[in-house]
């Protein structure tokens, strides 16, 4: 049976809107009044906004796009029934994805160009940010169609960062066109990779709009796929205690590689934004503290589950000093990778004091998570204070010396 896709989609949208309106009459009326008001006063509102506020709009769009790329779910949701009932062919699905990925950004670019909005000299960067949004939407779909999604994710984030840094309309337009051409040329779509996400997102949105909590709990999907760490590293070193535990930590890092990659990308984005926009010293200090906390959080993910087993599960006496010997070097490497991913922040702090903070961070985390007495727990708190104090001295002392 041949189905008119546009008619089918519009009828389902009409049904959905009517259900929402009937269920939320007052909210719908208020929403319509707000929308009409914004449409009528849009140009006047833009012209009255102060430039110091406008400059953060492209920053917010950029951060939002990076956040979309760092999670697993495809951002452009499609009703799973369209696929399950074979309403959409491969070409129809590709067209759907392209339209949903580009419509809002093209609308924003069209409004800016047609109304000749200058927006305090930020017109170009807002257009670039809108194109970055299109790219991120398309890539979020491609991630589920390639063999190495993590590699694609990292490469695209680095490219988008370069586009944003250089404020390049040519680079962003070229990449957008290339991705659309690639989408058109796709012959086969891996439905089994995307359908579970579409089902879950649809149930969540339906439950939210219709107030149906049961719908929100149906067809749950685990967005973080299971990581299978390689045990071969440990098998080869089973006879040697130190090497066995060393490679055990390396194996657990490999298992959590996605978290490591995302943490490094977050540190890099923070350093880039501080480098581009931050003038105050306190902001630079807070950014460095956040990067250190991100590295510490990564170590806690590795240590906390094992600490719970050791302290609350299978009883086996252990020594804190032995644990430090086993875990310190691998976790120091993680901290180094994570902190130096925000390499643009290094210019704001004394490098030697930063290295001291990095050396103390895995030691503090091991003591905190595996402490079996009040003294070691107290020592971990002392180290937390010491790390913050040293980073404070590193930032303010370094800038004070440079000033004079």
Interval 313-350: pLDDT, tens? 555 666 788 888 888 888 999 999 999 998 888 888 88
In percent, the amount of the chain with pLDDT more than 70 equals 78
Please state, in angstroms and rounded to a whole number, the distance separating the CA atoms of residues 235 and 259.
25
- Domain segments of the chain as ranges: 49-196, 256-403
Q: Has residue 364 got a pLDDT over 80?
A: yes
R_g of the chain computed on alpha carbons: 26
Place of tokens 């996605």: 258
Residue 362: what pLDDT? 92
pLDDT, average across residues 271-287 = 84
Output 98 or 309, whichever has higher pLDDT: 98
Closest alpha carbon to 94 in 222, 199, 11, 189: 189
Residue 45 has pLDDT above 90, yes or no: no
Report the distance separating Cα 232 and Cα 389, nearest Å.
Answer: 42
Neighbours of 24 (CB within 10 A): 15
Cα angle at 256 between 252 and 258, to 5 degrees?
155
Q: Which of 188, 178, 187 is nearest to 139 (CA)?
A: 178
User: With contact defined as beta carbons under 8 Å apart, do 67 and 217 qualify?
Assistant: no
- Is 0.75 surpassed by the pTM of this model? no
Comparing 84-88, 309-313, 323-327, the range with the smallest average pLDDT is 309-313
Q: How wide is the angle at C-alpha 166 spanned by C-alphas 164 and 170, nearest 5°?
A: 85
Q: Shortest CA distance to 284 belongs to which of 358, 356, 349, 350?
A: 349
Neighbours of 279 (CB within 10 A): 7
105, 133 contact by CB (below 8 A): yes
Please indicate whether residue 117 or residue 306 has the higher confidence score (pLDDT).
Answer: 306
Per-residue confidence (pLDDT) for residue 239, from 0 to 100: 52
Can you tell me the distance from the alpha carbon of 201 to that of 143, in angstroms, rounded to the nearest whole number? 17
Please, which residues have CB within 8 angstroms of residue 232's CB and are 6 or more apart in sequence? Answer: none
Residue with the two structure tokens 């200090």? 285
Torsion of CA 103, 105, 111, 116, to 10 degrees: -140
**DSSP output for 212-252:** -HHHHHTT---SSPPP----HHHHHTTT-HHHHHHHHHHHH
Tokens matching residue 374:
């009040």
Tell me which of 72 and 332 has the higher pLDDT: 332
Cα separation, 175 vs 159, in Å, equals 9
Mean pLDDT of 34-61: 72
Nearest of 122, 133, 130, 146 to residue 69 by alpha carbon = 133
| Average pLDDT value for residue range 197-219 | 60
Under 8 Å between Cβ of 330 and 253: yes
């Amino acid at each position: 049976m041949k189905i008119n896709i546009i008619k089918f989609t519009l009828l389902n949208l009409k049904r959905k809107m009517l259900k929402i309106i009937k269920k939320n009459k007052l909210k719908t009326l208020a929403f319509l009044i707000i929308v009409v008001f914004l449409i009528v006063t849009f140009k006047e509102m833009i012209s009255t906004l102060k430039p110091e506020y406008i400059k953060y709009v492209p920053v917010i769009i950029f951060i939002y796009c990076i956040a979309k790329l760092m999670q697993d779910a495809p951002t452009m949701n499609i009703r799973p029934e369209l696929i399950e009932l074979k309403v959409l062919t491969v070409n129809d699905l590709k067209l759907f994805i392209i339209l949903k990925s580009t419509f809002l950004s093209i609308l924003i670019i069209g409004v800016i160009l047609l109304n000749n909005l200058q927006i305090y000299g930020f017109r170009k960067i807002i257009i670039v940010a809108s194109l970055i949004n299109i790219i991120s939407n398309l890539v979020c779909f491609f991630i589920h169609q390639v063999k190495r999604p993590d590699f694609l994710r990292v490469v695209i984030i680095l490219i988008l960062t370069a586009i944003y840094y250089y404020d390049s309309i040519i680079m962003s337009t070229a990449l957008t066109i290339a991705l659309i051409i690639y989408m058109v040329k796709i012959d086969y779509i891996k439905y089994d990779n995307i359908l579970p996400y579409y089902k879950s997102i649809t149930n969540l949105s339906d439950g939210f709009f219709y107030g149906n909590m049961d719908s929100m709990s149906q067809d749950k999907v685990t967005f973080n796929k299971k990581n299978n760490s390689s045990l071969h590293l440990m098998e080869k070193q089973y006879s040697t205690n130190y090497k066995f535990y060393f490679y055990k930590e390396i194996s657990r890092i490999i298992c959590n590689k996605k978290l490591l990659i995302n943490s490094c990308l977050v540190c890099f984005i923070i350093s880039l934004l501080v480098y581009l926009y931050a003038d105050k010293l306190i902001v630079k200090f807070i950014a460095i503290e956040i990067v250190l906390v991100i590295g510490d959080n990564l170590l806690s993910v590795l240590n906390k589950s094992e600490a719970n087993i050791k302290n609350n599960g299978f009883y086996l006496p252990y020594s804190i000093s032995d644990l430090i010997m086993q875990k310190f070097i691998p976790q120091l490497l993680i901290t180094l990778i994570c902190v130096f991913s925000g390499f643009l922040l290094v210019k704001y702090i004394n490098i030697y004091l930063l290295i001291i903070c990095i050396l103390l961070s895995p030691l503090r985390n091991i003591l905190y998570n595996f402490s079996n007495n009040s003294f070691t727990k107290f020592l971990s708190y002392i180290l937390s204070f010491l790390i913050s104090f040293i980073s404070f001295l590193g930032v303010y002392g370094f800038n004070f010396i440079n000033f004079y």
